[in-house]
Amino acid sequence: MAKLNSFEEIIAWQKARELNSIIYAITNTNNSFSKDYGLRDQIRRASVSISSNIAEGFERETTKEFIRFLYIAKASAGEFRSQLYLAFDLDYISKNQFEEIKLKINEISKLLSGFIKYLKSTL
């Protein structure tokens, strides 16, 4: 694998950035979701936490620290997924939105797992 020069090159970060835009758009435009301040803010924070922890870990410039932050990002992906189910159960999002977003968050989780596994092999 080629050396990464910035966190922006990390595919998991790119996909998490896309997820941020999607969840902000949905929570801004869906009236019920936008008024459920607790869930709205929590799912936004979980989403932003994924991309933020990838970036912060990368900037720590040590593999061990990077791995630690990737684990935090992965945990935030799990938190996000749980909140996504609640949003669906409350009819804040449609079945199609739920399925589309669930595919995206699962892909991010898999990318993070693979990246963690790779980085651990370099220690």
pLDDT at 74 over 60: yes
Mean pLDDT for the stretch of residues 4-14: 96
**DSSP conformation letters of 37-86:** HHHHHHHHHHHHHHHHHHHHHHHT-SHHHHHHHHHHHHHHHHHHHHHHHH
pLDDT at 12 over 70: yes
Looking at every residue in the chain, the average pLDDT score rounds to: 96
Confidence of residue 2 (pLDDT cuts 50, 70, 90): low
Domains of the chain, each with CATH number or no CATH: 8-121 (1.20.1440.60)
* Per-residue pLDDT tens digits for 38-49: 999 999 999 999
Amino acid at site 113: S
pLDDT at 69 over 60: yes
* Per-residue pLDDT tens digits for 17-34: 999 999 999 999 989 999
- Provide the greatest CA pair distance for the chain: 48
Q: What is the pLDDT of residue 73?
A: 98
Confidence of residue 119 (pLDDT cuts 50, 70, 90): very high
Q: What is the pLDDT of residue 1?
A: 47
